[in-house]
């Protein structure tokens, strides 16, 4: 099997310059894949002040190449593309894995187009076919109603993967190398970040262990403030279906679903959400799903592990009080 060799993971860090859980999960998946393809596992880490993050990733056995430069502090599509492309150009046949995040999607689309290689996005798994050594990508299709397995025609492949489709690996017996790469970064490119609006909670939707989401039945911003209260008590983050986003009750960055964020927290609390396939495909892989809905026939109850039939105005206060009492 020499169709595929080295595996490259595009690493991402949090605002605190720590590798995201998603990145560590990709390292775990990449390690598995590299074992099967007989290649090496590399992680590419771009940004500024990332030496410690690189060390943390290397513990899991990946050789980490860090390009540490102030000009990489914010994601700039053209600069990131040109830096990553420089590394990949040195290799002839490889697999690139990135998170199915805004950065991962944007970067891999550019790279795949430029390298003329197959790209499969929003995957929930990758396997190696025993016979030919070809990769098989698993992803949901038709609004999350069917699971497809897909292949690419090119030897080299790229893929974005959802969070929580793999585990953070255990530390490797031998840690990987950390290499600081000196690359000249051109300044005069077309895209510049002029302003950055940061909200820690918004950024962490995919990583949060608990997501408390509201739907159209929340009936306004006031309803979402109640969800915020419960979410912050549980160290969670508030999410939403599309109608509250369209109505301007909550930021678009909180939308969960096929055209929003894909989440798989340990606990997903769905309040006044009917359970459309577009929403379910963004949270169906959650550990435990709890639904509150006034309609006993709401579709969400078919997916939920626990459900309460009732108006959220009555159920949520009692639910929140009980959770607070139990957790002290
Ligand atoms: C191309 C496309 C992409 C889409 N992408 C997404 C996406 O990414 N994410 C997404 O979520 N949607 C998406 N949608 C929209 C999707 O089809 C549904 O319309 C949407 O998910 C429904 O949201 P909802 O459950 O909040 O609203 P509704 O379906 O209107 O359900 C509201 C629910 O609230 C309950 N309710 C009302 N009042 C109360 C109360 N007081 N107490 C308790 N329960 C109450 C009702 O019983 C009902 O079940 C997309 C649609 C299209 C066409």
Tens digit of each residue's pLDDT (9 = 90 or more) over 63-110? 999 999 988 988 999 999 999 999 999 998 899 999 998 899 999 999
Q: What is the DSSP string of 193-234?
A: -------HHHHTTTT-SEEEEE-GGG-SHHHHHHHHHHHHHT
Residue 198: per-residue pLDDT: 60
20: confidence class by pLDDT, cuts 50, 70, 90: very high
4: confidence class by pLDDT, cuts 50, 70, 90: low
For residues 163 and 167, give the distance between their C-alpha atoms in angstroms, rounded to a whole number: 9
Note whether 278 and 259 are within 8 A (CB): yes
Share of the chain above pLDDT 70, in %: 95
Does ligand 1 have an atom closer than 6 angstroms to the CB of 246?
no
Backbone dihedral angles phi then psi of residue 181, each to the nearest 5 degrees: -95, 130
Handedness of CA 300, 302, 308, 309 (dihedral sign): positive
Does ligand 1 have an atom closer than 6 angstroms to the CB of 241?
yes
Hey, what are 326's tokens? 């139990």
For residues 165 and 26, give the distance between their C-alpha atoms in angstroms, rounded to a whole number: 9
For residues 275 and 304, give the distance between their C-alpha atoms in angstroms, rounded to a whole number: 10
Query: Ligand 1 mean position to 304 CA, how many Å?
Result: 15
Does ligand 1 have an atom closer than 6 angstroms to the CB of 298?
yes
Query: Ligand 1 mean position to 235 CA, how many Å?
Result: 25
Structural domains of the chain, ranges and CATH numbers in brackets: 6-180 (3.40.50.620), 200-327 (3.40.50.1220)
Residue 202 or 312, more confident: 312
Distances in Å between the Cα of 283 and the Cα atoms of 120, 205, 252, 276, 303 are 20, 11, 16, 11, 10
Q: What's the CA dihedral at 113, 116, 118, 122 to 10 degrees?
A: -10
Average pLDDT of 108-124? 96
Strands 94-99 and 6-11, bridge-based pairing: parallel
Residue 131: per-residue pLDDT: 67
Task: Give the closest residue (by CA) to ligand 1 atom 47.
Answer: 295
Residue 165: per-residue pLDDT: 86
Atom of ligand 1 nearest to the CA of 295: 47
Hey, what are 259's tokens? 């055209």
For residues 211 and 152, give the distance between their C-alpha atoms in angstroms, rounded to a whole number: 34
Residue to substitute in 222, 247, 276 for testing ligand 1 pocket (most ligand atoms within 8 angstroms of CB) = 276
Distances in Å between the Cα of 123 and the Cα atoms of 149, 191, 261 are 10, 29, 13
Residue 167 or 104, more confident: 104
Mean pLDDT of the chain: 91
Residue 15: per-residue pLDDT: 83
Predicted confidence (pLDDT) at residue 2 exceeds the cutoff of 60: no
Average pLDDT of 107-123? 96
For residues 275 and 288, give the distance between their C-alpha atoms in angstroms, rounded to a whole number: 15
Residue to substitute in 270, 273, 302, 310 for testing ligand 1 pocket (most ligand atoms within 8 angstroms of CB) = 273
Task: Give the closest residue (by CA) to ligand 1 atom 41.
Answer: 311
Note whether 143 and 258 are within 8 A (CB): yes
Hey, what are 112's tokens? 């795949």
For residues 153 and 151, give the distance between their C-alpha atoms in angstroms, rounded to a whole number: 7
Tens digit of each residue's pLDDT (9 = 90 or more) over 268-311? 999 999 999 999 989 998 999 999 999 999 999 999 999 999 99
How large is the C-alpha radius of gyration of the chain? 21
Residue 202: per-residue pLDDT: 52
Backbone dihedral angles phi then psi of residue 101, each to the nearest 5 degrees: -120, 175
DSSP H helices, the chain, are: 21-37, 51-58, 77-88, 102-115, 200-203, 221-233, 242-246, 277-283, 300-303, 312-327
3: confidence class by pLDDT, cuts 50, 70, 90: low
Tens digit of each residue's pLDDT (9 = 90 or more) over 130-161? 767 789 999 988 877 788 999 998 889 999 99
Does ligand 1 have an atom closer than 6 angstroms to the CB of 216?
yes
Does ligand 1 have an atom closer than 6 angstroms to the CB of 272?
yes
**Comparing 12-26, 174-188, 284-298, which segment has the lowest mean pLDDT?**
174-188
Tens digit of each residue's pLDDT (9 = 90 or more) over 34-48? 998 889 999 999 999
Tens digit of each residue's pLDDT (9 = 90 or more) over 229-274? 999 899 899 999 999 999 999 998 899 998 888 899 999 999 999 9
Predicted confidence (pLDDT) at residue 191 exceeds the cutoff of 80: no
Hey, what are 9's tokens? 């993971």
């Amino acid at each position: 099997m020499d169709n595929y060799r080295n595996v490259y993971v595009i690493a991402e860090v949090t605002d605190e310059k720590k590798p995201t859980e998603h990145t560590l999960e990709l390292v775990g998946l990449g390690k598995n894949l590299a074992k099967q393809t007989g290649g090496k596992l590399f992680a590419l880490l771009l940004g500024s002040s990332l030496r410690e993050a690189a060390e943390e990733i290397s513990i899991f056995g990946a050789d980490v190449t860090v390009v540490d430069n102030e000009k990489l502090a914010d994601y700039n599509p053209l600069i990131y593309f040109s830096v990553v492309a420089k590394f990949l150009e040195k290799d002839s046949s490889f697999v690139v894995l990135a998170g199915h995040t805004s950065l991962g999607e944007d970067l891999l689309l550019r790279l795949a187009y430029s390298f003329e290689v197959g790209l499969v996005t929003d995957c929930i798994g990758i396997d190696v076919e025993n016979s030919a050594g070809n990769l098989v990508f698993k992803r949901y299709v038709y609004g999350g109603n069917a699971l497809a397995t897909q292949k690419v025609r090119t030897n080299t492949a790229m893929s974005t993967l959802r969070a929580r489709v793999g585990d953070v690996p255990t530390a490797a017996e031998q840690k990987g190398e950390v290499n600081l790469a000196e690359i000249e970064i051109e300044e005069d490119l077309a895209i510049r970040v002029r302003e950055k609006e940061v909200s820690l909670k918004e950024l962490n939707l995919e990583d949060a262990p608990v997501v408390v989401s509201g739907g159209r039945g929340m009936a306004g911003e006031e309803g979402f403030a109640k969800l915020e209260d419960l979410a912050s008590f549980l160290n969670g983050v508030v999410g939403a279906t599309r109608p509250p986003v369209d109505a301007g009750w909550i930021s678009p960055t909180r939308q969960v679903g096929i055209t929003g964020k894909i989440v798989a927290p340990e606990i997903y609390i769905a309040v006044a959400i009917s359970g459309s396939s577009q929403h379910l495909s963004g949270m169906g892989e959650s550990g435990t799903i709890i639904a509150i809905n006034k309609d006993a026939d709401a579709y969400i109850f078919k997916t939920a592990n626990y459900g309460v039939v009732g108006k959220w105005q009555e159920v949520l206060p009692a639910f929140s009080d009980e959770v607070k009492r139990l957790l002290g």
